[in-house]
């Protein structure tokens, strides 16, 4: 549907989808149907050829890469935690349009911005896509229990903002995220960016009440910090750009 709605251009945001691990013959990693691959195939039916898929989820976008690894018109770019399940995405194949950036634990906002500016945005611009799918993936956030990455939601929002105008058709999906408080706030911020809505410094009482009613059974949910309920924006997670990250741009 996202592809159909953007047949003539535009932006669609569908946070509840983005099953990037699904394979043609089997489910994988909580993903039964790879809706991303199906969206790209739908664009193809509509005559769209050159596509970019940008995956910022903490896990490698293996299913989408597998679907289009032999199609140079589809550029797949995945930034993910090194050694994290499914433990793929360790090499790139530029001639086939496959770029993987396996980043170290503690990956911070400064490092994501570095990768975007030094390598990823130039790759996207060179490819000149007619359509793009972006998967922010809230499980790369510092507050998420499923990775050891240390991004704030600012970094993911800035990434969406940076690529927003690089293709006439844009679909933004949600992807992974296992802390309901950080996920909801991240997704809301993406919506604000795509609609040019100014983000509030403090969340209104009705929103805080809604968030406080969410059940989160992990240890962090027993005594959650006030910022999970009161603020949309995380504190920035700036830091050094380590040699391991710089080496990914060689």
Write down all domains in the chain, each with its CATH number in brackets: 2-249 (3.40.800.20)
* Predicted pLDDT at 220: 87
- Is 20 annotated as catalytic? no
Other residues' Cβ atoms within 10 Å of the Cβ of residue 63: 22
Give the pLDDT mean for 62-79.
Answer: 96
Nearest to 35 by CA among 78, 81, 67, 69: 67
Instruction: Report the mean per-residue pLDDT for the chain.
Output: 96
* Predicted pLDDT at 250: 85
Q: What is the pTM of this model?
A: 0.97
pLDDT digits (tens, 9 = 90+) for 213-250: 998 988 888 899 999 999 999 999 999 999 999 999 98
- Region for residue 29 given its phi and psi (left: phi exceeds 0; alpha: psi -120 to 50; beta: otherwise): left
Token pair of 50 as six digits: 């050159």
pLDDT digits (tens, 9 = 90+) for 184-195: 999 999 999 999
Lowest mean pLDDT among 34-38, 68-72, 138-142, 216-220: 216-220
Angstrom distance (rounded) from CA 76 to CA 115: 15
pLDDT digits (tens, 9 = 90+) for 102-160: 999 999 999 999 999 999 999 999 999 999 999 999 999 999 999 999 999 999 999 99
Beta bridge partners of 51: 74, 131
Q: Of 21, 59, 60, 127, which one is the catalytic site residue?
A: 21
> With bands split at pLDDT 50, 70 and 90, how would you rate the model's confidence at 37?
very high
* Predicted pLDDT at 187: 97
Angstrom distance (rounded) from CA 142 to CA 193: 21
Instruction: Report whether pLDDT(182) > 90.
Output: yes
């Amino acid at each position: 549907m996202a592809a159909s709605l953007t047949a003539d251009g535009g932006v669609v945001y569908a946070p509840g989808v983005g099953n990037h691990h699904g394979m043609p013959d089997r489910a994988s990693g909580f993903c039964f149907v790879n809706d991303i691959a199906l969206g790209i195939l739908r664009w193809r039916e509509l005559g769209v050829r050159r596509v970019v898929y940008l995956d910022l989820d903490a896990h490698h976008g293996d299913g989408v890469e597998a679907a289009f690894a032999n199609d140079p018109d589809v550029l797949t770019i995945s930034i993910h935690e090194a050694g994290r399940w499914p433990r793929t995405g360790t090499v790139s194949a530029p001639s086939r349009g496959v770029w993987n950036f396996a980043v170290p634990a503690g990956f911070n906002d400064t490092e994501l911005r570095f990768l975007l500016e030094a390598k990823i945005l130039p790759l996207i611009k060179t490819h000149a896509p007619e359509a793009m799918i972006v998967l922010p993936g809230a499980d790369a956030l510092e507050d998420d229990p499923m990775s050891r990455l240390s991004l704030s939601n600012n970094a993911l929002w800035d990434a969406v903002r940076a690529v927003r105008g690089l293709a006439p058709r844009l679909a933004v999906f949600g992807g992974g995220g296992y802390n309901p408080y950080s996920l909801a706030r991240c997704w809301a911020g993406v919506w604000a960016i795509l609609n040019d809505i100014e983000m509030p410094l403090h969340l209104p009482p009705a929103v805080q009440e809604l968030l406080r009613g969410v059940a989160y059974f992990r240890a962090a949910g027993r005594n959650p910090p006030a910022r999970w309920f009161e603020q949309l924006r995380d504190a920035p997670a700036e830091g050094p750009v380590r040699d391991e990250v710089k080496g990914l741009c060689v």
